[in-house]
Copies of this chain bind each other. A is one copy, B any other.
């Protein structure tokens, strides 16, 4: 397998190392001279600047790991030069702009690994960065099934848990679970600094709640400027919702309505438990075999349907029949309950299902 990594930061570097660990041949490309030395130290072959053609030529998988803001333009360039049987993906934290830029090209599958927020730069790259991490993929009905499978298997081999999701749903969810938390952290830290410096030099000891809430404040502007802007419509909607909710609790407080405040707080406790429970997924891998017609989009359709029901595909394999008119998709699902649900969904989609 030949892998090309375009953009050699923490994520790109870790993709390169994880792919090499799995036996792939890896080439990388970056615009910045500064990555050359740390890349060399890690044994990653990197081309600095110049045309992308030579790097992308002959690649089986291309990872775009540049800042979110330049990804759509970069994708158009890469799709122009990448070979026909090459799957192209990205690692950007917003998915609608790049999916739109792909314009239905069957070689593109959007991606987003949830990993590596704490450091930056190829110097921090490590082959096990994605072990246990969720890696979102956003295939569409245009995505080629065989190319999708290759990418899915490669990412699973990094130790990541692939989660399939629509681009719109991904961006709305990320606005809530990542971008809005960063906004709130920024607001809280600057508000506190402003009010307390107005009181002279005293900055009081802060409890664990403040430290928790502000840990991500002022994240790298080079990365986060792009992220905020690329998902700004979803983020604006989320901020409006936050403001409305703050105004409701403000009103309960101002009128000293204890019952309303307690109910609101209890509700948050229940919601937190529910969200945490939703993330507990474990158990034995169950193998499910599904016969499918070999038409474009069928793999994505299936993965999306399971994704919508909250079933994560731990791993998958695709076996086309020799006549290429049909095939078998083998899915591995963690946990008996999730596997049962997957089976029901696949049966309801009218695919023949076989469970060992």
Residues of A125-181 contacting chain B, CB below 8 A = 134, 136, 161, 163, 165, 169-170, 172-173, 176-178, 180-181
Partner of A199, one of B117, B169, B194: B169
CB of A202 within 8 A of CB of B310, answer: yes
CB of B253 within 8 A of CB of A235, answer: yes
CB-CB under 8 A for A201 and B239, given A185-B268, A225-B261, A261-B225? no
Q: Can you show 15 pairs from A to B with CB atoms below 8 A apart?
A: A134-B204, A165-B202, A176-B192, A187-B242, A187-B268, A190-B268, A195-B238, A196-B275, A209-B215, A212-B215, A217-B269, A218-B272, A228-B253, A229-B261, A243-B246
CB of A184 within 8 A of CB of B213, answer: yes
A residues apposed to B, CB below 8 Å = 114, 117-118, 134, 136, 161, 163, 165, 169-170, 172-173, 176-178, 180-197, 199-210, 212-219, 221, 224-225, 228-229, 232, 235-236, 238-243, 245-247, 249-250, 253-254, 256, 258, 261-262, 264-275, 278-279, 307-310
CB of B209 within 8 A of CB of A266, answer: no
**A237: nearest chain-B partner, CB-CB:** B195
Number of copies: 2
Interface of A is mostly: helix
- Which of A192, A279, A308 gathers the greatest number of chain B CB atoms within 10 Å? A192
